[in-house]
Amino acid sequence: MSTWRIWAYALSLAFLWLGLRFAFGHYFAYNYAQAQPKGVLFNLVFLLSLILLTLYTTYSKEPQVRSYFDDFKLSLRAGVAYSVAIGLAIGVYYSTANDMSIKRATDYAQLEEALNTPEKVAAITSSNEPLKDLTKEEIQQSYIERVNTMTSSKTVVAAGISGMMLSSLIFSLIVPWIFRTVMLKELS
C-alpha cells in the first residue's frame, strides 16, 4: 500500500475518532473519567484496523513474497501515520471541548474540601513526608500546579501521541506475525 493511501486512511480514521469523541463527550456531559476510556478504546481499535487493512490490501492485490520485516515496516508506517493523525485530533478535541476545564474545576473543589479545616491540613501533613514543613497555602499552590500540568492540553496530547506510538510498535510486532500465520493461509 502506498504511503499516501496509508495517510489518507489514517486521517480518515482520526476524523472519525474525533467525531465519536465529541459524541461521547457530549453524551457523558464532558466527564473526562467516563468518556476518556471509550476514546482510548476506539483509538486502539482504529489502529489495529488500519494495520490489518494495510496488510490485507498489500497481499490481496497479487501474491507476493515478503519477509516478516517488510510487513513489520509497513505496519509501523501505518501505525506512525495514525499516531500523528490522532495526535492532531486529540489536540483539536481537548483544545475545544470542556473536559479538562471541568476536571480542573472538580480537582480544585476537592482540594478546597481536603484543606478546609486545620485538622484536615494536619492529617495531610502528618501522613505525607514531603508536605510536613509546608503551610496550607504552599500545599495548595503545589497541588494547583500539578492539576494545571495534568489537565493541560499539551500534556494530554503528548501522552496520547506517546501512548499511540508505543501501541503502534507493539501492534506492528504482533499483528504481522498473526496475519502471516492465519490470514495468508486464507489468501493463498
Distance CA 14, CA 154 (A): 18
Angle, helices 153-178/68-96, rounded to nearest 10 degrees: 160
Residue 120's pLDDT is 78
Q: CA 129, CA 180: separation in Å to the nearest integer?
A: 54
Query: What pLDDT score does 188 carry?
Result: 54
pLDDT for 86: 96
Q: Maximum CA pair distance of the chain?
A: 74
With beta carbons less than 8 A apart as the criterion, state whether 165 and 78 touch.
Answer: no
Positions of the chain with pLDDT lower than 50, given as ranges: none
